[in-house]
Amino acid sequence: MQQQQQQQQQQQQQQQQQQQHSGPRPPSPQQQRFNKHQCKQWTIKYDELLRYRTDQGHCNVPHGHKQNAGLAMWVKRQRHQYNLLVEKKQSTLTGERIRLLESIGFVWSCLDSAWEKHFDELRQYSIMHGHCDVPSSYKENLKLASWVTTQRRQCKLLEESKSSSMTRARLVKLDEIGFPVAGKCLN
């Protein structure tokens, strides 16, 4: 029994060594044609995104964009491919494509972008009012009031070791401008 296991282990090791020494296979002619088509399609969608940016002033194509659902799906796919790359998984997104997208203001995470926008609004509120305690009835910016409530809730969830969208980096930023709950969560 033990001898069989040793033989199996040796066979597995030999197979692994063969795979390591053989290197990647060159792409088949069919794969090469597909890659050319894929590159062409990427360029077409990138050009569509450029036109969208010219018209709208940004690259954040909404998921439900009815005028061009294909572009919305493509943008979503680029973000997904970027996340794969960050996770060190196989991705079709190249360094050149990342550079091109970033050069036109492409945002990899809409959630991070929205958080930063609200954070800037809170910083301005703090400068004007001398504190970060935005009342829930703040009529000048109800979205900011709602966002502040959400940040308090996320801090509390984090403090209770529950699932939260709050990160340490966000806590530090909030604490730097005097957001009252952030300091407690950082300790």
Residue span of the structural domain in which 145 resides: 110-186
Residues 92, 52 share a domain = yes
Residues 114, 80 share a domain = no
Residues 126, 79 share a domain = no
Residues 162, 99 share a domain = no
Residues 115, 135 share a domain = yes
3-state secondary structure the chain: CHHHHHHHHHHHHHHHHHHHHHCCCCCCHHHHHHHHHHHHHHHHHHHHHHHHHHHHCCCCCCCCCCCCHHHHHHHHHHHHHHHHHHCCCCCCCCHHHHHHHHHCCCCCCHHHHHHHHHHHHHHHHHHHHCCCCCCCCCHHHHHHHHHHHHHHHHHHHHHCCCCCCCCHHHHHHHHHCCCHHHHHHHC
Please tell me the predicted confidence (pLDDT) of residue 22: 46
Record the pTM. 0.54
Domain end residue (candidates: 83, 108, 133): 108
pLDDT tens sequence across 60-83: 888 877 888 999 999 999 999 998
Overall domain count for the chain: 2
Residues 83, 143 share a domain = no
Res 187 pLDDT > 70 = no
Domain end residue (candidates: 62, 78, 108): 108
